[in-house]
Amino acid sequence: MTVGNLTTSKQKTMSAAEAVQKARDTFNRGTTRPIEWRRQQLKNLLRMYEENQNVMVEALHKDLRRSKMEAILLEVDYLINDLRNTLHYLDEWTKPEHPPKGFVNILDEVVIYNDPYGVVLVIGAWNYPLQLLLLPMAGAIAAGNTVIVKPSELSVACSNFVVENLPKYLDNDAFIVFEGGPQETTELLKQRFDYIFYTGGTNVGRIVYEAATKNLTPVTLELGGKSPVYVDNTVDIVVTAKRILWGKFINVGQTCIAPDYVLCTKEVQNKFLEASKKVLKEWYGEDPQKSPDLCRIINNRHFSRLQQLIESSKNKIAIGGCYDSNDRYIEPTILANVTPADKVMEDEIFGPILPIVCIENAYEAIKFINEREKPLVLYLFSNNGEVLSKFIENTTSGGMCINDTVMNMGVETLPFGGVGNSGIGAYHGKKTIDTFTHKKSCLKKNFAAIGEKLASGRYPPYTEGNLKFITALMKKRHGPSLKYLPHFVAFAVGAAISYGIFAWQKMASDDS
């Protein structure tokens, strides 16, 4: 186990306890609190992305045979844009907030301070090995925390990139890369953190959650699950097929929000299959294995899991179905007339296999979805407003995307996260910095005599009169906002004084 806490050439071995202690000491010294310090670290990180774009693209190619287009759009540029956005709003997002206040606090200051939690642990997953690790880390830095990042051991090239480069750009006492697999992560999880952000499968998510409860550490768990797609007969089927297949086959289905299965009528299934055949040929040619645009499966374990799914569904293959273990290649595959009992419907597929389950109507689809774990995303393809409302009102999912797939992730003002088995908490855009921020509320009073006089009725000896006065003062009123009352009073006093001076001058000139 190594820790990239120095430079590439001078890596030092450090235990989990030592790494956390180092990060805690740095936090306790107050190093990470000043906004300007955070801004500088974020700018350094941006420089790391900009100076190493090609290196990052190469690492993604090594791990997943990711194409340049997908590497740039889904990881490198995604990280750069997120960071630019955070830098732009850093002051606004970190400054103290002044929420509305009631009549009883009209003379007081009511403030919410944005406090960093302290030492944050970010555990990344292999499928988007840079984005899923570095984007939450940037949010934790922006919020003023120290961070320990743990890249996935399965995406080796990307993990190496992070170990070698992060220490060259970021403060080594505040931001520490901790490499390793389950054993090292278990050691890390024995330590006390102030926040844990985990991305990965639900089973390990449970282990992380259990470890966090020992210290009552707050968590974000970005998990997975089966994200369904409902398609009805009101849509443009060719565009629908393109949007579903793109979301399914980017990163060859190894995407947490990849459409997992399609629910539609038999009639729609036939049209969808016909359109999909043409689309896939257009995209990947006669032999998709030769296409440079299709990624490969991360490792042999995941490859044989997917191979078994294809083997168990042999009689349902409508498109594709080939694979090559030497290349860890699996052809984009669509299965027709799949039943809920089929193996492919048990767990999240996380590969380029798309089953279609036929249902009679939207009601049956809603029932089907509600009988299973709450999905990370629910995809709907329909032009019928009533049908869409039925799904919106009667299903629960981390998020929804209507008439497209995956693109919801690109909207930074939409919180991204699961619900139930698909996760706890959310991030992206402002929500990322808020995730790593404790909202510290504060009521600030002064010693002005008028305030003390008004509130003195709360002191003993208690009387009926004081009780009436205080309850009247505290009664919730929902009239116009009192936010501008002090300004209004100041304006009224100013106007009264001006009027007094004017009247006095007029009287004086009339007298003379």
| Chain residues in the site for ligand NAD (CB under 6 A) | 123-127, 132, 150, 152-154, 181-182, 185-186, 199-201, 204, 207, 222-224, 256, 348, 350, 376, 418, 423
Cβ distance to ligand NAD smaller for residue 220 or 313: 220
Confirm if 177 and 4 have CB atoms less than 8 A apart. Answer: yes
Which residue, 275 or 354, has its beta carbon nearer to ligand NAD? 354
Residue 459 structure tokens: 């002191």
325 DSSP assignment: T
Tokens representing 205 are 């998510």
Quickly list DSSP for 488-505.
HHHHHHHHHHHHHHHHHH
Closest CB 200 distance from ligand NAD, rounded Å? 3
Task: Write down the catalytic residue from 256, 264, 295, 401.
Answer: 256
Q: How far is the CB of 284 from ligand NAD (least distance, A)?
A: 24
Residue 79: count other Cβ atoms within 10 Å of its Cβ.
Answer: 21
- Kindly compute the dihedral angle of the four CA atoms of residues 284, 285, 289, 293, in this order, to the nearest 10 degrees: -30
Least Å from the CB of residue 406 to ligand NAD? 12
The Cα–Cα gap between 406 and 423 comes to 17
Q: How far is the CB of 309 from ligand NAD (least distance, A)?
A: 15
> In 136-291, where do the E strands start and end?
146-150, 175-177, 195-199, 219-222, 227-231, 259-264
Output the smallest distance, CB 181 to ligand NAD, in A: 5
Helix H, strand E, coil C: the string for 374-397 is CCCEEEEECCCHHHHHHHHHHCCC
Q: Is 222 a catalytic residue?
A: yes
Q: % helix / strand / coil in the chain, to the nearest 5?
A: 50, 15, 35
* Residue closer to ligand NAD, measured from CB, 63 or 232: 63
Nearer to ligand NAD, 82 or 348 (CB): 348
Closest CA to 193 of 144, 233, 148: 148
The Cα–Cα gap between 276 and 330 comes to 17
Which segments of 259-309 are extended strands (E)?
259-264
Q: Give the pairing of strands 175-177 and 329-330.
A: unpaired
Nearer to ligand NAD, 142 or 409 (CB): 409
* Residue whose CB is less far from ligand NAD, 204 or 358: 204
Which residue is nearest to ligand NAD, using beta carbons?
Answer: 224
Rounded to a whole number of angstroms, the minimum distance from the CB of residue 202 to ligand NAD is 6
Q: Which is nearer to ligand NAD, 144 or 418 (CB)?
A: 418
Tokens linked to 349: 């597929």
CB of 349 to ligand NAD, least distance (A): 10
61/150 with CB nearer ligand NAD: 150
Give the torsion sign (CA, 153, 158, 164, 170): negative
Least distance in angstroms from the C-beta of 325 to ligand NAD: 19
**What is the b/e burial string over 96-130, where b = at least 16 CB atoms within 10 angstroms of the residue's CB?**
eeeeebeeebeebeeeeebebbbbbbbbbbbbbbb
Burial status of residue 370 (CB atoms within 10 A of its CB: 0-12, 13-18, 19 or more) = exposed
d(CA 274, CA 276): 6
Q: Cβ(345)–Cβ(357) under 8 Å?
A: yes
Alpha-carbon gap, residue 218 to 319, rounded angstroms:
45
Alpha-carbon gap, residue 68 to 46, rounded angstroms: 19
The smaller minimum CB distance to ligand NAD, of residues 27 and 350, is found at: 350
Annotated active-site residue in 179, 222, 331, 348: 222
Shortest distance in whole angstroms from residue 154 CB to ligand NAD: 5
> Does residue 256 carry a catalytic annotation?
yes
Report the catalytic residues.
222, 256
